[in-house]
Amino acid sequence: MANKENEPARGGEPELESLEVPGLLSRPRRNRKSEAVRSLVRETHLRRDHLIWPLFVVDGSSQKIPIDSMPDCFRYSPDVLVDEAKEAFKRGIPAVALFPALDDSLKDKVGTESTNPDGLLQRTVRALKDALPELAVITDVALDPYSSDGHDGIVHDGEILNDETLEVLAAMSVSQAEAGADLVAPSDMMDGRVGRIREALDDCGFSNVSILSYSAKYASAFYGPFRDALDSEPRSGDKKTYQMDPANCEEAVREVFLDEEEGADIVMVKPALAYLDVIARVKAETMLPVAAYNVSGEYAMLKAAARLGWLDEESAVMETLVAIRRAGADMILSYFARDVAERL
């Protein structure tokens, strides 16, 4: 008669004998056995001081206007924006980046409003520096928020004029520095703009104002929600004659080297997620700090998937930002910044 004493009960799990493979000396899983051990061997870290929070500003007071294509993001009037920035600073966010959303009545072909000392951006910078002098304020240098054509440069007969645009960008940078900006961030991708801006800032006594250059800014499909937030979609054509071809990486290195030579203090790759290889390559080639922009389309994708229950938002966001850091970014502009800072 068969001995059934050691047989598993029907429907139960069979008993497993303890077994160790002889000679198996290297066991990487030992370094994963607990959170404490995993933290000891962790190679990439995300801290609050790696984060920059992009903010959209509109004229008026007591305004907090939702952006439909960017859930949980808003256009703030300057007074509300200052309060939001105070809360972010308390959570450990060291810097904000400002993007003005202007009424069409203030836009023209040469971006005249961009140098108005009492313009929306300039007033917001002054308000922030008065309230939070230790907060680093980064200002966007490009024509598209101010242009009736919606392009980053002056448009003439369908052509984006490079050298004529440089003078506007230089004057815009000086105006932002006069308002109190700590860093000006040219995002326009005109040739030679970093050198011209550096020259203008130095000539006007702003040699301590830094330049965070959008050195490798690609003609990406991931900018849609941002353009919705600022109503800055090109009125005709596209931006492919000045923003980079997504197929190119060597070109990004060349752009970074040019910006270094012209006086950039920090270089940026934008977008981030589809360009992690570019971030890694740029980090390997430059001695300057490298920023990456976790752009609006990347933000909107995660938000949409999380709202449909397809992803755990908190885990996916942390994994995304750590990946950008792992690729080599020293700092990350992200619309998730304030919420993530609370969890770090």
- Which residue ranges make up each domain of the chain? 45-343
Cβ neighbours, 10 Å, residue 130: 10
Q: What is the pLDDT of residues 193-207, one digit of tens each?
A: 999 999 999 999 999
Do 156 and 112 contact (CB within 8 A), yes or no?
no
Catalytic pick among 107, 270, 283, 303? 270
pLDDT value, residue 230? 76
User: How many angstroms separate the CA atoms of 62 and 148, rounded?
Assistant: 27
Burial of 82 (0-12, 13-18, 19+ CB in 10 A): middle
Across-strand partners of 97? 54, 138
pLDDT at 274 over 50: yes
User: How many angstroms separate the CA atoms of 269 and 290, rounded?
Assistant: 8
| Token representation of residue 40 | 């000891």
User: How many angstroms separate the CA atoms of 42 and 212, rounded?
Assistant: 29
304 phi, psi to nearest 5 deg: -65, -45
User: How many angstroms separate the CA atoms of 319 and 305, rounded?
Assistant: 15
Whether 283 is catalytic: no
Q: Which amino acid is at 331?
A: M
- CA of residue 20 relative to chain centroid, distance: 49
Do 294 and 335 contact (CB within 8 A), yes or no?
yes
Q: What is the pLDDT of residues 92-104, one digit of tens each?
A: 999 999 999 999 9
Among left, alpha and beta (phi > 0; psi -120 to 50; other), residue 46 is beta
Q: Indicate whether this model's pTM tops 0.85.
A: yes
Whether 303 is catalytic: no
pLDDT value, residue 8? 54
Which CATH code is given to the segment(s) 45-343? 3.20.20.70
